[in-house]
Structure 1
Amino acid sequence: MSELIARYFDRLAGREDAVLTDLSGGLRRSVTGRDLPDLTDRVAGWLAAQGVQRGDRVVAVFDNRLEAALLLLAALRHGITLCLQPANAEAQALADLAAGLGARAIISAATPCPEGATPLTLEAAAASPAHPAPDLAPQTPFTLTFTSGSTGAPKGILHAAESFLGCAAAFNRQTGIGAGDRFLNVMPMYYMAGIFNGLLAPLAAGASVVIDAAFGTPTALRFWPRVAEEGITALWLSPTMLSLVMRLDRGDKVLPAGFRRLFVGTGAMAARDAQAFLDSYGMAPLQSYGLSELLYISVDDPGQPHFGSVGRPLDGVRVHLDADGRLGFSTPHAFLGYLVEGALIPPEPVFATSDLGALEDGILSILGRSDDIILRGGVNVNPIEIERALAPLFKGRGFCVTGLPDATLGQKVVLVFEGATARPEDDEIWARARQIVAQGPGRAQLDARAQIAALPLGPTGKIRRAALRETLAAAEGAA
C-alpha cells in the first residue's frame, strides 16, 4: 500500500482501546485500533469472495453502522472504488448505476438490505481470510459520489485517498484535533460529510469515533446526554441540525465535561445563530466551508472565531475571486475529475464555483451562490441576505426566499412559508417581512408569497433551492 495509507493505519494500530464504536440498532459494537487493520483485510477477503479485487468499482449502500465504516476503510487500504448510495436507494436504481459504472458488485452496509444487493455483516467479515494489503499506485480512485444534477446530468466526483488524507491532516493541524479526541458521528454516512468529517479525518489524527444513527429528532432529544455518556470531545453538525438541538434542549445549557470542539458545516451559519449558541452554552461553534470536489477549504479559528465567516483557508489552499465576486480555488486536495459517461474529465488548475465570497484579512466569507441570485428588474437580489434579515420573524420555522419567472420583472422575489396550511400569524409576518426588506440596505422588495408543505432538504437539512424553484414553478403553471 502507499506510504500515506500505511501511516494512517499504523497510527491506529498503536491503540489498544476502541477506535470505532457503533451504537446504532440498539447494540454496542467496538473495534480496537490494534485489531482494525486485520479486520479491514478480512473485509477485503470477504469482498474477494464476492468477486471484488483491487481496482474494481463497487456500488456501496451506506447507513450509519460499523459495517459501513469497515467497508470504507477496506476500500481505502485495498484500492477499491466505492460509489456511495443512501440506505433508501431503490433496487432498480442501484442495478442501473452498477451497470452504468461497470461495478463488480452491489454491497449493502445498511439494514434492511436492498433487493439485489449482497449484505456485509461484521460476523461474515471476521470469519473471512485476511487479504494482505497491496501496493497501490498514487492517485488510485477511492470514492465516487454524484452531483445533484440540478443544473444538468449528474456528474460523478472521483477522489483518491491522497485528497482525503492530505486534507484531513491540514484540517486537524489547524483545529488542534488529536489522538485524545473522541468524535460522535451522526452525519449520514453515505454523504461526504459523514465519511470525511465523522470518520476519516478523526481517525487520521488517531482519534476515536462513536457512530450513532443518522441525525433526526430522536438524536436531538437525547443529544447532550449521549455526548456526556460517551465522553465525546468533538463533533460535526449542520446549521439546521444545531438549530434543532438548541430548540429541543430542555436541560441547563451546560456542555458536558471534556467537550471542546463543535464544528458546523455543509451550509452557511448566520452570525446571529452562532452568537446565540455561544451565549447559551459558552462555546463558539466553528464554521467551515468545503465542496464535494475539493473537500475542506477553510475552518474558523478555535482561539478567535469570526462569526458569519467560514474561517481561514487551510494550508496549501489558494482563494481566487473574479470581478463579480465568484470564488475559485486551487488546492492540493482536489478530486481526480468528473466521471461523465465513462470518461474522466480532469479539473482545471483553478476550480471555479458558483459561490460568491469575500476574503478580508485572511478570513473567508460566503455571500451566497451566483445561480441563486434573483435578477429583479435588472437589479441583483441576494436571497441569503434577505433570509438572514427575516430569520427572527420565523423563530425557527422553515422558510425560504427564491426567485420565479415574471413577465414584467424578469424574476420576482418570493417568500416561501413552510407548512401544510397557512397559520393565523402569517399575514402579520408577511407585512413585517415586506417592511424589513424594503428598508434594508439593498432596497429590495418582496413581490409574492407562497406556501409549501415541506421545503425540499438535502441529507444535512440544507434547502435544495433548485428543486424548490421547480416545485413552485410547476404549481404556478398548474394554477
Structure 2
Amino acid sequence: MPSTRYEFFANLFLHGEDSPFLLLDGDKTIHYSEFFERAVRLLNHLVRQGARHGDRVIIGLENRPEYLELILALALGGMTACPVDPAVSVVQLDKAKRVANATMAITSYDQLAYALDTSIPDCVHQGGMSDPFLVVFSSGTTGAPKGIVQSLENFFAAAKAFAGAVGLQPGQVTLHNWPMFYNAGLFNLFACPLLSGGVIAVGKRFAAKNLGDFWADLARFRPDSLYLSPTMAATLAKTYRFFSADLEPLQRARIISTSSILYPAIKEEFLRVLGAPLLPCFGITELGGSFTIGDADSGPFSVGKVMADVGVQIDDQADGELLVQSPYMALGYLAEGGGIDYFDRRQPFRTGDLGHVRDGELYISGRKKDSIKKGGEMINLAEVEDMVHATQLCEECYAVGKPDLFWGETYDVFFVPPAGGNAQAIKDELSRLFNASLPQSQRPDQIHAVSEVPRTSSGKPIKRLISYEVAQ
C-alpha cells in the first residue's frame, strides 16, 4: 500500500479517470477524476475555514453525493471523520463533539463550498496512512455506544480484502441505499466498490414507509450488488404483494445480508416470495468491517467462510465466545478527553458473539447477552426468535433475557402485531407454540405485545430497552 495518502487516493481515482464512479438521479454521472477534483476543492474550502491535519470533524448530514466527497476530502487532509445521525438532538450532538474532542461540526450542506483552487494543500502531505481516519459510534444495542477509531490504512485494506472475497469486479454497480453515517454505508457501500474499481448508484435511503423508492431504484440502476439488513429483507418479502415491481433486477443482483443475524425463517421467506437468495456476511466495526461471506447454500445461522488473513477461534471456556485476530483491527476506543484507548493487537478480540466453525464455515448463534443460562441450561434466544418468525404471526419478535431469583436467568418474548392484528389472539398462538415446541424449562416467562421496537439510528433493535415500552 502506498505510504502517502495522496499517492493512495490518486492511484484509485486518477488511473480510471474516465470511468463512472457515481450514478445519480436524472441519468447524471460523476466520473472518478471528477469526484477526486471535487474532493480536493472541498478540502481547500475546509482549510480556509480553519481545518487542519489531525482535526476531528463531526458530520451530521443526510445522504447526498457530497457526503462521500466530504469523506474523501477529510481523508486526504489527514482529518478524522466522525459521522453521527443527522436526526440527533442538540444535546446528543454536543456530547458527540465533546467525546470526540472535535474542532468542527458540519450539520448543514450550506457549510460546504467548492473552492476554485484545485491545488493540493500542504496538509495532504502531513502524517501517514496509519493516522486516524474514522470514528464510528457503535450502535449501542446492548450497552452504551462507543467511539471506535479506525486508521485509514486498515479501513481501506479491510475493504479491499472483503471486495475480493465477495468477487466485486471493475465496472460493477453497487446500490447505496443505507445511511452514509453508518459503518456499512462507508465500508460496504463506498470503500468496497471504490477498491474494486466499481460504480456506486446513489439511491434513496431505505425506509419502510417509502418502499416504492427502493423498487424504483432497482429498476433504474439495475445494480450488480446490494445490501439488505434482515429487517429490510423481511419487510420486502411481507409487502411485495402491494407493489407491481419487476423482480428481475432483484434476482440478477448479488444480495448480501448484513447488520444483524439472518434468521433462517427470513432467508427462506425472502427466497420463496422474491425468488432471490440472501448471502450472509458478518463483520465487526472494531475489526475493520465485514470479514466473512456466504453463498446461497450456506446453512442456518452460517455467516459463510472467513477471509484468509483473518483468524477465528472459539473459547469453549466462555460458552463458545468467538475470538478474532485481524490485521485490520481498529486503533481503539475514544477515551476521556479525546484520547485513544489502544487495543492490544497481540491478543485476539473478544467479540461477545457465540459461534462455532463447521466444514470451513462460521456459524453465529447470537450475542452472549442473547443466550441465557436458566437453571444451568443454556438457551439460545436467537433460535426462539427464529421459531416465532417462521410462523409469520407478527411483524417482529425479540426474546430478551432478565435476571431471576429462582432460575438465575429467564427471558420474556416481545412481539409487534401486524397492522389490524389481534394482539391477544397472537399472544395465545405463541403460548401454544412454545408449549408444543419447548420443554417447560425453556419456555419464556412472559409474552408481551408492543406497538414498536426502540432502534438505533442505523435501524438495529435496542433489545435492552424493549421492556420499557411495556412499562409505559
Q: Which residue of 2 aligns with 1:325?
A: 320
Shift of 1:376: 3.0
Residue 229 of structure 2 is aligned to residue 238 of structure 1: yes
Which one-letter code corresponds to 1:327 in the other structure? L
Q: Which residue of 2 aligns with 1:20?
A: 22
Contact 1:456 1:467 in 2 (8 A): yes
**200, 206, 224: which one pairs with 1:215?**
206
Query: More helix by proportion, 1 or 2?
Result: 2
Deviates more, 1:349-358 or 1:83-92: 83-92
Which one-letter code corresponds to 1:437 in the other structure? F
Correspondences of 1:265-414 after superposition (within 5 Å): 265-302=258-295, 304-323=297-316, 324-341=319-336, 342-348=338-344, 349-395=347-393, 397-414=395-412
Q: Which residue of 1 aligns with 2:73?
A: 74
- Relative to structure 1, the CA distance from residue 120 to residue 232 in structure 2 (aligned partners, 3 Å threshold; closer, same or farther) is farther
Q: Which residue of 1 aligns with 2:177?
A: 186
Q: Which residue of 1 aligns with 2:463?
A: 465
Contact 2:258 2:281 in 1 (8 A): yes
* CA distance in 2 between partners of 1:245 and 1:257 (Å): 11
- Relative to structure 1, the CA distance from residue 9 to residue 283 in structure 2 (aligned partners, 3 Å threshold; closer, same or farther) is farther
Shift of 1:416: 1.2
Deviates more, 1:439-448 or 1:82-91: 439-448
Deviates more, 1:442-451 or 1:193-202: 442-451
Q: Which residue of 2 aligns with 1:143?
A: 134
Partner deviation per Cα, 1:193-228 (whole Å, 9 max, x = no partner): 111111111111111112223210254223233212
Correspondences of 1:168-183 after superposition (within 5 Å): 168-183=159-174
* CA distance in 1 between partners of 2:449 and 2:429 (Å): 17
Q: Which residue of 2 aligns with 1:62?
A: 61
- Relative to structure 1, the CA distance from residue 253 to residue 413 in structure 2 (aligned partners, 3 Å threshold; closer, same or farther) is farther
Partner deviation per Cα, 1:59-102 (whole Å, 9 max, x = no partner): 11132111111111112222110111111122343234324433
Which one-letter code corresponds to 1:223 in the other structure? F
Name the SS of the counterpart of 1:43 in structure 2: helix
Name the SS of the counterpart of 1:89 in structure 2: coil
Contact 2:75 2:152 in 1 (8 A): yes
Residue 87 of structure 2 is aligned to residue 98 of structure 1: no
Name the SS of the counterpart of 1:293 in structure 2: helix
Contact 1:297 1:314 in 2 (8 A): no
* CA distance in 2 between partners of 1:385 and 1:337 (Å): 32
Contact 1:8 1:204 in 2 (8 A): no
Deviates more, 1:185-194 or 1:1-10: 1-10
Which one-letter code corresponds to 2:429 in the other structure? R
Contact 1:421 1:453 in 2 (8 A): no
Shift of 1:373: 2.2
Contact 2:400 2:464 in 1 (8 A): no
Q: Which residue of 2 aligns with 1:53?
A: 52
- Relative to structure 1, the CA distance from residue 400 to residue 68 in structure 2 (aligned partners, 3 Å threshold; closer, same or farther) is same
Alignment RMSD: 2.8
Deviates more, 1:310-319 or 1:449-458: 449-458
Q: Which residue of 1 aligns with 2:244?
A: 251
**114, 118, 134: which one pairs with 1:125?**
114
Name the SS of the counterpart of 1:310 in structure 2: strand
- Relative to structure 1, the CA distance from residue 414 to residue 82 in structure 2 (aligned partners, 3 Å threshold; closer, same or farther) is same
Which one-letter code corresponds to 1:206 in the other structure? G
Query: Which segments of 5 or more consecutive residues in structure 2 lack a partner in the other structure?
Result: none
Identity %: 26
Deviates more, 1:301-310 or 1:375-384: 301-310
Name the SS of the counterpart of 2:155 in structure 1: helix
* CA distance in 2 between partners of 1:130 and 1:12 (Å): 16
Q: Which residue of 2 aligns with 1:2?
A: 3
Contact 1:415 1:446 in 2 (8 A): yes
Shift of 1:281: 4.0
Which one-letter code corresponds to 1:333 in the other structure? Y
* CA distance in 1 between partners of 2:145 and 2:251 (Å): 42
Contact 1:42 1:127 in 2 (8 A): yes
